[in-house]
Structure 1
Amino acid sequence: MALGLEWQLILELLLLGCVTGFLAGLLGVGGGMMMVPFITLLLTAKDFPPEHVIKMAVATSLATICFTSIASVRAQHARGAVRWDIFRLLTPGIVVGSMLGAQLAKWLPAATLALLFAAFVGFSATQMLRDIKPKPTRQLPGTPGMLAAGAVIGLLAALVGAGGAFVSVPFMVASNVAIHTAVGTSAALGFPIALAGTIGYVIAGWSLTGMPAGTLGFLYLPALLVVSLASVAMAPVGVRTAHRLNVRHLRRMFALLLYGLAGYMLMKGLG
């Protein structure tokens, strides 16, 4: 890649990190829903291997969550919003599921992964637009059930490069966990999901040949560094801004953006 293109890509990744970090702080949404399609778009434009681009985007999105989740967990813990007993029961299954999800992603065709991501983003956008909230219908399962639930959460999160809140929060709320506690506990679960998923994608892509410079397995290190620094810096700005704006209307506008990103990934999958 020419030097000019390298600097152009760094600036584009910097902008992406700023926007995703700001929106995560403003709207309380995970950055993966934006990060995966935009990293896919940027790397595709730079002629990265098309069969690996989406997997690189998912792996890089997961890796950024390792950094961005730390500040969120500290804030949620300080508010007493993390159920560490639930965290301990879900984490073993999450680690296994996230590792397996990365190995599964290696063998899935890029088109299938793109379609899966499009479905995930479309579903999340619909929930956000309609302000759908799960209703308590049961109690938390026993240890085997919690391990199984953790494995499902980790598997799905690793396939789409997200922190797992789209599954873990509805699961906990439906199990009679208060919504603010479910959100806080989900923030804590984002770290083991991201760490195990990132390690899984590094292992999954370790033996591949012909990968671009700066990759570690499927992980694209320049994007990880630039996006993480920018998003961590901008998230607090988004949080402060949220106190001065009507976030409910903004979430609906963001949902429309997500439909557009889902459409892009759908085209990637069908094209």
Structure 2
Amino acid sequence: MIEPLAATPSGLAVLFVLLGLITGIPAGMFGIGGGLVLVPVFVAVFTVLGFPETGLVQLAVGSSLGAIIPTAVLSARAHHRRGGVDGEAVRRLLPGIIGGALLGAGLATQLDSDHLGRIFGAFEVAIGIWMLLNLQPPRAPVPRRGVWLGGGGIIGAVSALIGIGGGTLTTPFLVSQGLELRRAIGSAAALGVPISIGATLVFALPQWTATTPATPEWSLGYLYLPAITGVVAGTAISVRAGVWLAHHLPVAVLRRGFAGVLILAGLLMLLR
């Protein structure tokens, strides 16, 4: 094992930047993908670095959410400039999204690390199969306040629990409510901002409540700051390319390839 590092060496910094470059593409293309890729890779890297097993998955989930904040902001801005964000849809989902994200993040910090990893793995495999089959949600274009509030709560809670920006769930929900796919993707990216900010704050709280298990230096609660910084630098470059691809290329083939990656990563999380 490599001992936990007191400072970020250049090789590790490059690794996290490259990871950001990779994850920014699917985040911009599909409105999903950042956390689904980041969490299992963070778990693998943190394990190699010799970080304590207790709380390791929480550290990966929290760091993923922290890294998603600027990615979501950049993606949302890029989609907004192309007219891809539906303001009414965002307002309808926002209350449930925020409440659910706070609850989900709180639950994640209390779970056993191995159990949290299995929950993530099962979810990732399910999402990969859904993308591979290209299943379409049933459409219910008549807006109902309770449906939007409950849907937002579920989306926020699940997203914060496993460290994703929510586009995986938000996009099909918005499509089911009658939004055109590209506007659903853009709106999902915008809603990833409150999910990631709210959940990240909860994952940082143990820093001041003395409930965090032993975490490596340069951590803030369950946030590993070197990983967040490197990934943010990479995604700042690549997320715009993902948005451009979403508006210019047929994504069916790329979707199937990405689905395969998710299924493999999910299986590795389940078997670790």
TM-score by length of 1: 0.89
Contact 1:134 1:174 (8 Å CA) reproduced? yes
Q: Which SS does the other structure have where 2:132 is aligned? A: helix
Q: Is the 8 A contact 1:98 1:200 kept in 2?
A: no
Judged with a 3 Å threshold, the aligned counterparts in structure 2 of structure 1 residues 242 and 171 are, in CA distance, closer, same or farther, namely closer
User: Percent identity of the aligned residues?
Assistant: 35
1:32 equivalent in structure 2: 35
Q: Residues of 1 paired with 2:188 and 2:262: CA distance?
A: 21
Q: Which residue of 2 aligns with 1:70?
A: 73
Q: In the alignment, which residue of structure 2 is the partner of 1:120?
A: 123
1:187 to 186, 189, 209: 189
Specify the alignment match of 2:220 in structure 1. Answer: 216
Q: CA deviation at 1:37?
A: 0.2
Residue 25 and residue 179 in structure 1: after superposition, are their counterparts in 2 closer, same or farther (change >3 A)? Answer: closer
**Aligned twin of 1:249:** 253
Q: Does 1:259 align with 2:254?
A: no
Q: What residue in structure 1 maps to residue 177 of structure 2?
A: 175
CA RMSD of aligned residues (A): 2.3
Q: Which residue of 1 aligns with 2:143?
A: 140
Conservation of the 8 A alpha-carbon contact between 2:140 and 2:177 = yes
- Which is worse superposed, 6-15 or 49-58? 6-15
Which consecutive unaligned segments of at least 5 residues does structure 2 have? Answer: none
Report the AA paired with residue 254 of structure 2: L
AA matched with 2:75: S
Is 1:229 matched up with 2:240? no
SS in 2 for 1:137: coil
Instruction: State the distance in 2 between where 1:11 and 1:54 align.
Output: 22
Specify the code of the residue in structure 2 equivalent to 1:263.
L
Contact 1:140–1:172 (CA under 8 A) maintained in structure 2: no
Taking structure 1 as reference, are residues 146 and 27 closer, same or farther at Cα in structure 2, changes over 3 Å only? closer
**CA shift for structure 1 position 62:** 1.0
> Is structure 2 residue 108 aligned with structure 1 residue 111?
no
Amino acid at match of 1:266: L
Report the secondary structure of 1:180's partner residue.
Answer: helix
Query: Counterpart of 2:193 in structure 1: which amino acid?
Result: F
Shift of 1:115: 1.3
Corresponding residue number in structure 2 for 1:197:
199
Offset of 1:139 from its aligned partner? Answer: 2.1
- Is the 2:31–2:189 contact (alpha carbons within 8 Å) kept by the matching residues of 1? no
SS at match of 2:205: helix
SS in 2 for 1:50: coil
Confirm or deny: 8 A CA contact 2:66 2:197 kept in the other structure: yes
Distance in 1 (alpha carbons) for counterparts of 2:245 and 2:85: 24
Amino acid at match of 2:263: Y
For this pair of structures, how many residues does the alignment match? 267
Q: Deviations over 1:95-148 (max 9, x none)?
A: 121111111011111121111111221111112211222231352222x44332
Q: Are the aligned partners of 1:102 and 1:204 in contact in 2 as well (CA < 8 Å)?
A: no
Shift of 1:7: 3.6
| 1:243 Cα offset (Å) | 7.6
Give the Cα separation in 2 of the matches to 1:45 and 1:79: 41
8 Å contact kept, 2:55–2:112: no
CA distance in 2, matches of 1:53, 1:218: 9
**Structure 1 178/238 Cα, relative in aligned 2: closer, same or farther at 3 Å?**
closer
Structure 1 residues 177 and 24: alpha-carbon distance in aligned structure 2, compared to 1, 3 A threshold:
closer
Q: CA deviation at 1:221?
A: 0.7
Instruction: Report deviation, 1:25.
Output: 4.0
Corresponding residue for residue 152 of structure 1: 154
Contact 2:32 2:166 in 1 (8 A): no
AA aligned opposite 1:110:
S
